[in-house]
Structure 1
């Protein structure tokens, strides 16, 4: 029997997986519907403020979300997250296009708060449902099907906005939360904390410090989190901003759709491949998989044909898919269950804290120094951070052994 069939035969895992894929589809519907609702009524500046409020609330509260995920039942925390986000979406339906601007800003903050609760609990919940022998395959299935779900949700969202309205599409988004909520309430995962949590802000801050301490005790994990921060700031966030601009200038508005679809295909293929990887050097696989990402800034700087750019997107995002599955599996395996919420919160902070700044400054920076110089810097940063982390023991295996025995020449 295949691994996927084995996973899906488990009713508890199946409920968790189906509920969360449905939620991803709903989120993608919302991403398409939100600009269609707000931009015509309030303009791009207000739309940007609402998105910034959501992002700021999420980043600022992620570590608190990790603490909460480690204190209480993770399925319950995710259910509360769904309720908070439903209230946020209902607020956008009611006030996104009319009324004082502060009302949709508050709704955006609620979406961010819900996301801060959801992300750490979701990643930390999976090991409670899947044993170590199937964890990597479960992460691969989760990553690939969510990417497919996001693409399907975007298509559904576009159709709903056209056939109904932006508000009608957001109502469907709310309905998907109901599916997720039902599965989470049925699961009733037990809390993992062995002792009663202290009360008050001081106790929560102490638990946050404990989570940071757990990461610092594993330098291989800390350095890869820092690697993610640097690469997001210098490579992935700027690429996210510049690809639609450059592709439209070269090939017209339809090009970005082809490039986005290629990235989705690559992520699905890479995630599926990662589920089959059997190696004691998961870190070597993960870092080498990131190498094709160097093609992304080069495609911005060099006028390659659209088909070649699409191939580069497939290769790069396939590598990212491999990295994500191996990395998440390593964190779920290495860290004790009772701190994983905080660990995944810190991982998300590393990836997202500086992303809004990078998105804002990337076009200005590229315009100032020129795309060729920008691309060269991005490639150098990618290569240096991808292979520089092997100087830290444990990176090659994505674990904390007594002696890695890393042969850096062989790694390169």
Structure 2
């Protein structure tokens, strides 16, 4: 089936784009809701970590569920949970009763939804396209998603500055509801497989993951990059924007530039078909060291925006090559379980990175902490390139 006739694919693109508008704006609203209530960088990191931890605890369960049930039904349920969580967050902000423990619980509910939505989404998009159209489809999907993130991040900064963070959170809740409606319209992706026991299926997924050296090697690299990325960029970046730049509006612009870079990277990958899938992918993550380095240098807003744009290009080049590799190498009936173990490994250190970023900056200084983050990203990439299976992975011909 060609991409134009692929109903599930386009419904998934539409749902992802709509929900991404609110999701991209939400980090701006969350960070500045905490800062406006008198919170600190440590509080932002704690709320971020509280959302990631439940996701990590339930990713593998979410992967099994997504391989057992119609994946679009799993996505609907997860989106409904996120819609309720963000609506409650909006009410808390509107009533000026922002308390840290409430934000931690709301963030945890969102993290639980992510644990089921992420494996289901990745499994569904991979199942929806055949190998011949996989690379192009993934590039289109991610480019559309990133376009929405550009608009969402910019909108978040403007709305927070003009009207306050509550309205952004209400918008986020609404977009999740609309995405649910689009997911309901999807058709089941074929016959459901015969179910084995939960433990058996977890073991099967782990065997598929652990038996591929290239897979877990890149996941280790991603674990380091994501940990310092969330800590150094999302937490300390927001803090630096508040202290040294123009606050929420400038932070929204920086996030928008990151998403613009992803769009550029996605457009490049619609046409480009690198033969060495993983070499080109993992090397593309090196530019993620540029934003923390630019913040550490005390660079101007323009320089930081350029650094964020280049980082965004790198993320997208990696993402398309990585998804293409998984689609090429992993059996479709195990997509969601492998995706769950991949997510668990890739984001396993993220709560730690988010939680320690603020205290580390308080103890060692903002610039020193950001330089350490940039160095860790470069070092992780250099190490993963020493793995022969990573260097040898090639795109299938045809």
TM-score, length-scaled by structure 1? 0.81
Cα distance between partner residues in 2 of 1:230 and 1:27: 23
1:24 to 16, 20, 41: 20
> Once the 2 structures are TM-superposed, how far is the Cα of residue 43 of structure 1 from its aligned partner?
6.0
Matches within 5 A, 1:238-317: 238-253=232-247, 255-317=250-312
For 1:248 and 1:163, locate their aligned partners in 2 and report how far apart those are by CA, in whole Å.
Answer: 16
Per-residue deviation at 1:108? Answer: 3.8
- Listed as ranges, the matches of 1:377-392 within 5 Å are 377-392=372-387
Give, in angstroms, the shift of residue 352 of structure 1.
Answer: 2.3
User: Deviation of residue 75 (structure 1)?
Assistant: 0.9
Confirm whether residue 77 of structure 1 aligns to residue 74 of structure 2: yes
Q: Write the mapping of 1:109-128 to structure 2, written as runs, cut at 5 A.
A: 109-128=108-127
Residue correspondence of structure 1 range 142-291 to structure 2 within 5 A:
142-157=141-156, 169-190=168-189, 194-198=193-197, 203=198, 205-234=199-228, 237-253=231-247, 255-291=250-286
Give, in angstroms, the shift of residue 318 of structure 1: 0.9
Aligned residues: 391
How many Å apart are 1:162 and its aligned residue? 7.7
**CA deviation vs aligned residue, 1:291-313 (integer Å, no higher than 9, x gap):** 33343343233344443333222
Greater relative CO, 1 or 2 (CA 8 Å, sep 6+): 2
RMSD: 3.4
Aligned residue in 2 for 1:58: 55
Which structure is larger by alpha-carbon Rg, 1 or 2? 1
Aligned mates of 1:90, 1:266 — CA distance in 2 = 30
Q: Are the aligned partners of 2:47 and 2:103 in contact in 1 as well (CA < 8 Å)? A: yes
> Are the counterparts in 1 of residues 75 and 183 from structure 2 also a CA contact under 8 Å?
yes
CA displacement 1:294-352 (0-9 Å, x = unmatched): 43343233344443333222222211210111112211221111111122122222232
In structure 2, relative to structure 1, the CA distance for the partners of 1:170 and 1:269 (3 Å cut) is: same
Map of 1:396 onto structure 2:
391
Query: In the superposition, relative to structure 1, how do residues 256 and 69 fare at CA in structure 2: closer, same or farther (>3 Å)?
Result: same
Contact 1:220 1:392 in 2 (8 A): yes
Structure 1 77/361 Cα, relative in aligned 2: closer, same or farther at 3 Å? same
User: What displacement does 1:16 show?
Assistant: 1.7
Aligned residue number for residue 7 of structure 2:
11
CA separation in 1, counterparts of 2:245 and 2:389?
44
Could you say what secondary structure the match of 1:391 adopts?
A: coil
Work out the CA distance in 2 between the residues paired with 1:367 and 1:41: 20
Using the alignment, how far apart are the partners of 2:65 and 2:256 within structure 1?
A: 36
CA distance in 2, matches of 1:374, 1:174: 34
Q: CA deviation at 1:73?
A: 0.9
Residues 176, 359 of structure 1: alpha-carbon distance in 2 compared, 3 angstrom cutoff: closer
Q: Which structure 1 residue ranges, 5 or more long, are not aligned?
A: 1-5, 402-412
